[in-house]
């Protein structure tokens, strides 16, 4: 509704079954009366309007529509232009939120302010016979839309007839904009820390600055404080989180965790980024591993980088080439029963990457200098070494592509020079001499793309046949006496078998004189373009013995491989059956005439909030696991309006859902991790209970219990299990749209994701 100078220009429209009055002074209307001015609509059985005072008095089924809110009641007196007056015994509805309430009296104090006396608010069905399932009551509620603030005095939240929250004063925002104030408390329980109560306070410092301070009480450990600070500027942005327990009674010491992420734009078109994660002790991931994020992992990085994209010419375009300098270190959280091997630190890593296209030739080049060092602390590999390495990777390809076929010949080179290496971790480490090597490689990649129309499963389809052949020739060069900083054997799968090097990284290059041949066939729905079926088969043939190989654990320098025919890879997936999705991958060894690795999964999802999935994974001699996941309504009518079970009572007001995931190791004969829970959707409120268990050692497990009440249209109380459910249950759907944390506002091109889930 316009105010100020624009308001007097707005006309008043008055309609009714009968009207009488004196022009320019007053009007009296009755029978389906409707008065309109700007964005305000008043309807009533009878209305008297005084032109001189601009006052409307309405009685009998009075209703006001303004700014998306609807007020109704028996009597109203209102200054139309000033929007000052009162409404007796009004009911109010907020259709956008699906919620509303009532009050003894509502005073309009201007276009942007109002006050309700003895008010109640809920999103549950309301009648005069019984109290809603949940209701927020207050002695007085003041609204200021311009300041985006509501203040409730004597606030009480009642749930199922019981007061569960009472506050003398409650401040809340009136829309999605950010506002300082206390957030709903969270409660969680786990077997290592006991019960934890946290009450966060959100501080809206500025449109581009905010902070969250969260005091918490942990029954077994003591008092703690979590803090988060976010900032957003036109040229840089970042966030910092600090967890602090000044005196952990279980550990007998102070404990801290820090997380800082910062990125921005530097001079001369450069970009920079910092990622820093640090904790006070090795047991952090066990005791606080349920908090999520990188601080619950065992490898905590500290990374700094600065990069500048550029175009060099020679067929390069802006953004295709990059010069960079990086620094990467690790904090390794070791455990007495589970020592892990950390990657090397790079202090520093300086390089340039370029790629381009010229006269049909595609070329790439990467040159880099690294200084490798070992993270502090114990390592299971006692003879690991540190040192310097400079490498050059380059390739030149001439792709020939036409409809239905393609051929790509490619020349590549991998050159590396190693400075003096420090070997061993003893008090007197030895020194190895400088070394270097240059290894060229040639490959020829060719394939066909054949297609025909067909009909199957009652629908029109395209069937494709896509044979592919890859020839690779890389000469042998001894590398076992060279350092290995970043190479490991690639996983043997349908993608890696079509590569010219069976190692990741730079330090190892497999000698290869081999041919890889296979095919893929697909059925594609003509109408939707969806893939209904896919089958693939591939095998590699060695033309000579491969001498540079990986060991069974993936580490380099394994035994020579003389087996001419590799294992056969077979993959398949289909969604032909409505609601069903099946996929499988098989690695079959002709030597032992058995499958050495199998992955199979099936899922059934006939509709929203209904999904069941199962998967089986076998790596012969290493692991064998079965995984089950589900979200399924058990009883009642869900948010999609369907009954959860045939025997459900028509009078049921809500729906029960079972949610969970189990991962069972057939080799160890135990459940390695699990998530089990129940959700109850009553329409206007949702209850969730989730138990999550993770293995943190060969004989140790961490168990956490999460309980949450979500009052639709108001807030959530309790610990938040939604991230646990989304991350662990394939196909899980939220029963209601998730609400993210408020976002910072500065430059529209910049944004920071919320810290809280």
Q: CA–CA separation, 484 vs 558, rounded Å?
A: 13
Contact 665, 625 (CB under 8 A): yes
Residue at 290 is within a domain: no
Residue at 87 is within a domain: yes
The per-residue pLDDT for range 611-633, each reduced to its tens digit, is: 999 999 999 888 899 999 999 99
Token code pair at residue 12: 């008043």
Claim to verify: residue 608 and residue 553 sit in the same structural domain = no
Task: Give CA angle at 679 (702, 753), nearest 5°.
Answer: 70
Give the residue from 707, 705, 706, 708 showing the smallest Cα distance to 685: 708
Claim to verify: residue 530 and residue 647 sit in the same structural domain = no
The per-residue pLDDT for range 184-212, each reduced to its tens digit, is: 788 888 888 899 999 899 898 998 999 99
The pTM assigned to this predicted structure is 0.78
Residue whose entry in the numeric block shows the structure tokens 């294992």: 567
Decide which of 175, 206, 231 is a domain's last residue. Answer: 175
Decide which of 175, 202, 233 is a domain's last residue. Answer: 175
Name the pLDDT band for 518 (thresholds 50, 70, 90): very high
Q: CA–CA separation, 463 vs 451, rounded Å?
A: 6
Contact 43, 36 (CB under 8 A): no
HEC profile of 579-591: CEEEEEEEEEECC
Residue whose entry in the numeric block shows the structure tokens 């138990």: 691
Residue whose entry in the numeric block shows the structure tokens 């220009």: 9
Three-class DSSP category at 483: coil
Residue at 224 is within a domain: no
Residue at 314 is within a domain: no
Residue at 611 is within a domain: yes
Q: CA–CA separation, 503 vs 499, rounded Å?
A: 9
Quick one: pLDDT at residue 741? 47
Percent of the chain with pLDDT over 90: 48
* Alpha-carbon separation of residue 77 from 41, 50, 112, 581 (angstroms): 14, 11, 17, 63
Please give the average per-residue pLDDT across 250-267, as a whole number. 94
Residue at 363 is within a domain: no
Residue at 307 is within a domain: no
Please give the average per-residue pLDDT across 33-41, as a whole number. 86
Claim to verify: residue 601 and residue 485 sit in the same structural domain = no
Residue at 220 is within a domain: no
For the ranges 49-58, 332-341, 395-404, which has the lowest average pLDDT?
332-341
Decide which of 175, 200, 226 is a domain's last residue. Answer: 175
The per-residue pLDDT for range 76-124, each reduced to its tens digit, is: 998 888 888 999 999 888 777 778 888 999 998 988 888 989 999 888 8
Q: Looking at the DSSP assignment, which residues form a beta bridge with residue 302?
A: 276, 329
Token code pair at residue 113: 């302010």
Claim to verify: residue 695 and residue 641 sit in the same structural domain = yes
The per-residue pLDDT for range 620-667, each reduced to its tens digit, is: 888 899 999 999 998 876 555 554 543 333 334 688 999 999 999 998
Quick one: pLDDT at residue 396? 96
**Tally of structural domains, the chain:** 3
Q: CA–CA separation, 113 vs 209, rounded Å?
A: 27
Could you tell me the residue range of the domain that residue 130 belongs to?
4-175
């Amino acid at each position: 509704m316009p105010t100020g100078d624009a308001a007097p220009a707005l006309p008043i429209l008055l309609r009714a079954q009968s009207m009488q009055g004196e022009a320019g002074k007053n009007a009296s209307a009755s029978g389906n009366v409707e008065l309109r001015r700007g964005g305000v609509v008043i309807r009533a059985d009878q209305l008297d309007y005084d032109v001189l005072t601009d006052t409307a008095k309405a009685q009998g089924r009075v209703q006001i529509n303004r700014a998306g809110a609807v007020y109704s009641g028996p009597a109203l007196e209102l200054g139309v232009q000033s929007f000052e007056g009162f409404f007796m015994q009004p009911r109010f509805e907020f259709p956008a939120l699906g919620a509303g309430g009532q009050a003894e009296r509502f005073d309009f104090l201007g276009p942007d302010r109002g006050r309700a006396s003895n008010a109640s608010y809920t999103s549950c069905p309301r009648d005069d016979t019984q109290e809603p399932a949940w209701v927020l009551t207050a002695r007085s509620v003041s609204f200021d839309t311009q300041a985006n603030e509501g203040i409730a005095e004597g606030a009480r939240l009642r749930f199922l007839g019981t007061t569960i929250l009472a506050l003398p004063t409650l401040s809340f925002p009136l829309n999605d904009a950010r506002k300082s104030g206390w957030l709903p408390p969270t409660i969680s329980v786990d077997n290592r820390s006991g019960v934890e109560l946290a009450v966060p306070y959100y501080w809206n410092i500025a449109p581009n600055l905010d902070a969250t301070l969260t005091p918490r009480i942990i029954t077994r450990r003591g008092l703690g404080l979590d803090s988060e600070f976010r900032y957003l500027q036109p040229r840089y942005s970042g966030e910092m989180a600090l967890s602090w327990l000044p005196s952990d009674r279980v550990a007998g010491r102070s404990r801290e965790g820090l997380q800082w992420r910062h990125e921005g734009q530097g001079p001369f078109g450069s970009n920079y980024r910092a990622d820093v994660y640090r904790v006070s002790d090795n047991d952090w991931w066990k005791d606080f591993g349920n908090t999520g994020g990188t601080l619950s992992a065992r490898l905590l990085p500290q990374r700094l980088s600065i990069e500048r994209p550029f175009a060099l010419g020679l067929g390069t375009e802006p953004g295709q080439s990059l010069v960079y300098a990086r620094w990467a270190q690790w904090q390794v959280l070791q455990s007495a029963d589970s020592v892990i091997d950390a990657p090397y630190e790079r202090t520093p890593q300086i390089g340039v990457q370029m790629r381009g296209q010229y006269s049909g030739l595609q070329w790439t080049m990467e040159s880099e200098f690294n200084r490798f060092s070992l993270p502090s602390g114990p390592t299971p590999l006692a003879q690991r070494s540190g040192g310097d390495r400079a490498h050059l990777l380059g390739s030149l390809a001439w792709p020939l592509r036409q409809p239905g076929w393609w051929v790509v010949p490619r020349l590549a080179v991998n050159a590396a020079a190693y400075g003096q290496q420090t070997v061993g971790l003893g008090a007197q480490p030895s020194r190895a001499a400088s070394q270097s090597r240059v290894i060229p490689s040639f490959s020829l990649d060719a394939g066909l793309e054949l297609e025909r129309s067909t009909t199957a499963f009652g629908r029109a389809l395209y069937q494709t046949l896509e044979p592919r052949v890859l020839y690779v020739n890389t000469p042998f060069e001894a590398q076992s006496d060279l350092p290995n900083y970043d190479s490991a054997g690639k996983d043997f799968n349908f993608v890696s078998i079509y590569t010219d090097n069976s190692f990741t990284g730079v330090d190892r290059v497999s000698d290869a004189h081999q041919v890889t041949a296979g095919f893929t066939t697909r059925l594609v729905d003509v109408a939707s373009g969806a893939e209904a079926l896919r089958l693939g088969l591939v095998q590699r043939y060695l033309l000579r013995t491969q001498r540079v190989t990986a060991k069974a654990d993936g580490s380099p320098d394994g035994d020579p491989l003389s087996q001419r025919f590799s294992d056969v890879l077979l993959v398949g997936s289909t969604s032909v059956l409505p609601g069903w999705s099946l996929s499988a991958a098989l690695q079959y060894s002709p030597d032992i005439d058995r499958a050495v690795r199998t992955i199979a999964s099936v899922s059934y999802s006939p509709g929203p909030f209904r999904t069941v999935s199962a998967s089986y994974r076998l790596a012969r001699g290493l692991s064998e696991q079965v995984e089950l996941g589900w979200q399924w309504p058990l009883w009642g009518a869900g948010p999609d309006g369907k009954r959860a079970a045939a025997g459900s009572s028509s009078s049921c007001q809500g729906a029960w859902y079972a949610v969970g995931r189990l991962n069972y190791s057939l080799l160890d004969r135990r459940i390695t991790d699990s998530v089990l829970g129940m959700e109850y959707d009553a329409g206007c409120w949702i209850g969730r209970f989730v138990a999550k268990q993770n293995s943190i050692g060969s004989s140790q497990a961490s168990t956490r219990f999460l309980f949450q009440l979500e009052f639709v249209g108001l807030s959530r109380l309790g610990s938040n299990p939604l991230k646990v459910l989304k991350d662990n249950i394939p196909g899980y759907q939220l029963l209601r749209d998730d609400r993210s944390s408020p976002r910072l506002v500065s430059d529209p091109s910049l944004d920071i994701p919320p810290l809280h889930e």
